[in-house]
Amino acid sequence: MRQFVYPLAALLFISCTLVGCSREMVESIYNVDFEPSNRFAKNLARLPGQYQKDTAALDALINSFSGNIEKKWGSREIKIAGKRNYVKYIDNYLSRTDVNFDTGVIMVETVASTEPKQHLKNAIITTLLTPDNPSQVDLFSSQNIQLKGQPFLYKQVVDQDKQPIQWSWRANRYADYLIAHHLKTKEVDFKKAYYVEIPMVEDQVEIRSYQYANIVRKASQRYGIPEDLIYAIIKTESSFNPYAVSWANAYGLMQVVPKTAGRDVFNLVKNRSGQPSPKYLFNPENNIDVGTAYFYLLKTRYLKQVNNPISLEYSMISAYNGGTGGVLNTFSRDRSRAVRDINRLQPNQVYWALTKKHPNAESRRYLEKVTQYKKEFNKH
């Protein structure tokens, strides 16, 4: 543990509070050993772990799923859904769709050896008409999708006439157009694959975000968490992809981990036993509610002793990604001391420490991204 003479530390902190500290001074104060420690004050709430890995069940599912993919596509062509891409297999794994929300490109492809164009057409139509209901779509099988209700990609893709695709007749016509004018082939594991690439509209992220405006507003009012913060978290976590799933066994728009954040919200906010299921979290309204409720816990329980509201928000954002322990360990391995240190710093100094000295590089970038997205949201 870090050691220095306390009176000197007190003088430094008084100086920081009154006139502000330089970046170098803050860094010298927080030149700490980032090894974890369990020697925390007993009177504080326990440390939650929003992103503590919970991969046992998911690993077993993915291993079986990957084996089925490899049989059809080979070991070099295994694609699985993530936080920012939607991947769905159909047709006994012969056809698949990969929607990349970062690049705004959708690839639909098939390795069917008989009537490949027909298999590809069916896959295109399925992609265009996949419903906006993630709880009804099994991402980890080749189970077919019931094509009913509002399509998930409605208005995010337009056909050759620049019209959005909502009905089967328009999806059929656009599929025929793509195959006639934009069909490509490639070699996949010694097989010939047929595919098309479909561009998404430029404002596809904004279009998705608008779908959740009412849900975000209700969650904001229910838990006292600002709307712009909720939007920024969703954009950072999933780019408004309700089908998002991650390595940490996190699901949906706000990437909630059932066993940690989900269980905490069920037990401490909703007075329910157990934890939310993936199906529960794939429902956008449930997901935003649970994710926002977890911010409520960070604000009112886990980080409640942080006094400055701006410093508190920076700490909450960082904790949502890397846990409360990561936030506190940035300042001291002694938890009570860490809280005191945070309260003695100006908000801009807390931000600097969390984006420069946090023990986890992903969490350092995470706070930067969320605060930037908040600024972008408030420009509109």
Q: How long, in residues, is the chain? A: 380
The Cα 153–Cα 265 span in angstroms is 31
pTM for the full predicted model: 0.81
Reported as type and span, the H/E element at residue 24 is helix 23-29
Can you give the residue ranges of every domain in the chain? 7-55+212-379, 79-201
pLDDT of residue 112: 97
Label residue 231 left, alpha or beta by phi (over 0 means left) and psi (-120 to 50 means alpha): alpha
Residue 59 — pLDDT band, cuts 50, 70, 90? Answer: low
> Tokens at residue 216, please?
């975000």
Considering the candidates 27, 77, 197, 237, report the single residue annotated as catalytic: 237
Residue 34 has pLDDT above 50, yes or no: no
Residue 368, C-beta contacts closer than 8 angstroms, at least 6 positions apart: 355
| Sign of torsion over alpha carbons 154, 66, 196, 113 | negative
Residue 27 has pLDDT above 80, yes or no: no
Percent of the residues in the chain that have a pLDDT greater than 70, as a whole number? 84
Residue range 317-336, pLDDT digits in tens:
999 999 999 999 999 999 99
Query: What average pLDDT does the structure give for the chain?
Result: 87
For residue 97, report the phi and psi dihedrals to the nearest 5 degrees. Answer: -125, 140
Residue 123 has pLDDT above 50, yes or no: yes
The mean per-residue pLDDT over the stretch 51-73 comes to 74
DSSP assignments along 89-144, one per residue: EETTTTEEEEEETTTTEEEEEE--SSSHHHHHHHHHHHHHH-BS-GGG--TTS---
The mean per-residue pLDDT over the stretch 282-292 comes to 97
Q: Give the distance from CA 125 to its chain's centroid.
A: 27
Residue 53, C-beta contacts closer than 8 angstroms, at least 6 positions apart: 247, 248, 249
Residue range 258-286, pLDDT digits in tens:
999 999 999 999 999 999 999 999 999 99
Q: Give the distance from CA 193 to its chain's centroid.
A: 31
3-state class of 64 per DSSP?
A: helix
Residue range 131-158, pLDDT digits in tens:
988 878 989 899 999 999 999 999 999 9
Percent of the residues in the chain that have a pLDDT greater than 90, as a whole number? 76
Residue 48 has pLDDT above 90, yes or no: no
Q: What burial letters (b/e) apply to 2-38, b meaning 16+ CB within 10 Å?
A: eeeeeeeeeebbeebeeeebeeeebeebbebeeeeee
pLDDT of residue 248: 78
pLDDT of residue 7: 39
Q: What burial letters (b/e) apply to 255-283, b meaning 16+ CB within 10 Å?
A: bbbbbbbbbbbbebbeeeeebbebebbbb
The mean per-residue pLDDT over the stretch 44-66 comes to 60
pLDDT of residue 64: 80
Which residue bears the tokens 């408004």?
Answer: 240
Within 10 angstroms of residue 40's Cβ, the number of other Cβ atoms is 17
DSSP assignments along 134-147, one per residue: GGG--TTS------
Residue 194 has pLDDT above 90, yes or no: yes
What is the signed CA dihedral for 146, 150, 152, 153, rounded to 10 degrees?
A: 120
Within 10 angstroms of residue 142's Cβ, the number of other Cβ atoms is 18
Residue 379 — pLDDT band, cuts 50, 70, 90? Answer: confident
CB of 318 closer than 8 Å to CB of 358: yes
Binning the chain into helix, strand and coil, the percentages to the nearest 5 are 55, 10, 35
Q: Is 237 assigned a catalytic role?
A: yes
3-state class of 184 per DSSP?
A: strand
Residue 74 has pLDDT above 70, yes or no: yes
- The CATH architecture that domain 7-55+212-379 belongs to is Orthogonal Bundle (1.10)
The mean per-residue pLDDT over the stretch 149-178 comes to 97
Residue 47 has pLDDT above 60, yes or no: no
